[in-house]
Amino acid sequence: MIKHVFLGFLNNVHETDAVRWYLRYHSKEVVRGTGPWIRRYETFKALPFPPQAKKWGAVNGFVTELWYYRVEDYLEAAPDYKPYTPPPGGWATAIGPVTMAPAVPTQDFLRKEPAPEEKHIIRWYRIFKYPEGVSVADGEKWYLETHSQETRMQPGLLKYVSYRALDPPPFRTPWCRIEELWYEDFDAWHKANIENPVKFTPPVWRKTEPFVDMMSSFVKYKPDYDFLKDNAIIP
């Protein structure tokens, strides 16, 4: 199983107008075009983020996952992706990374489940690529052997998983990793990342966090919209 992931927002578009376009047109056109192939189509509305999170490329907007059984299903459905009704302001307003990865994490750095049905959970959803001039092999060696092993020591971290993007991907994209860091609430996030941060070993290519080119959003445990099951209310 694989998932096609979008993280981003419509730049200079009022939030209500963006949501109306997404619910009224785009989501329905995606279901119409790819419904016979997709197994899951869920969207998470980004939570308002702490101002300090801008350091890690935090944005508002949406995180969307479309699950397929296999790459061949995506490729068979792909010709039906267009034309879509453009968003307010046109497609140039759509900003954010797009990638495709296995549906199951390729790495689970904590190997524990935090019982999300019994806790308040926020998921810090991050997509990144290595800076220009850094090979994926060098980036992966630093990430897997050093950075992830230090990140997993954060106090209050409930879950830490990562997904290596498909190689090669079925479409052109530089975004090579998705990762999720779970906390009980924003107070726990603040304590782990601002008040009492881990002292990270920087890579040779960059000395300041986040060390990679990253965009991120904070989302809830469960999706706000399940387009294969729900009839979303349009604001």
Query: pLDDT tens for residues 171-219?
Result: 999 999 999 999 999 999 999 999 999 999 999 999 999 999 999 999 9
Cβ atoms of 212 and 129 closer than 8 Å: yes
CA distance 198 to 148: 11
17: enclosing H helix or E strand:
helix 15-21
pTM: predicted TM-score of the whole model, two decimal places: 0.94
What does DSSP assign to residue 37? T
Cβ atoms of 63 and 5 closer than 8 Å: yes
- The stretch 44-67 carries a mean pLDDT of 97
Cβ atoms of 52 and 193 closer than 8 Å: yes
Cβ atoms of 61 and 10 closer than 8 Å: yes
CA distance 62 to 59: 9
Q: Encode pLDDT of 21-45 as tens digits.
A: 999 999 999 998 898 999 999 999 9
Q: Out of 1.10.510.10, 3.30.70.100, 3.30.1300.10, 3.40.50.2000, select the CATH number for domain 2-226.
A: 3.30.70.100
3 state DSSP class of 68 = strand
The amino acid sitting at 220 is K
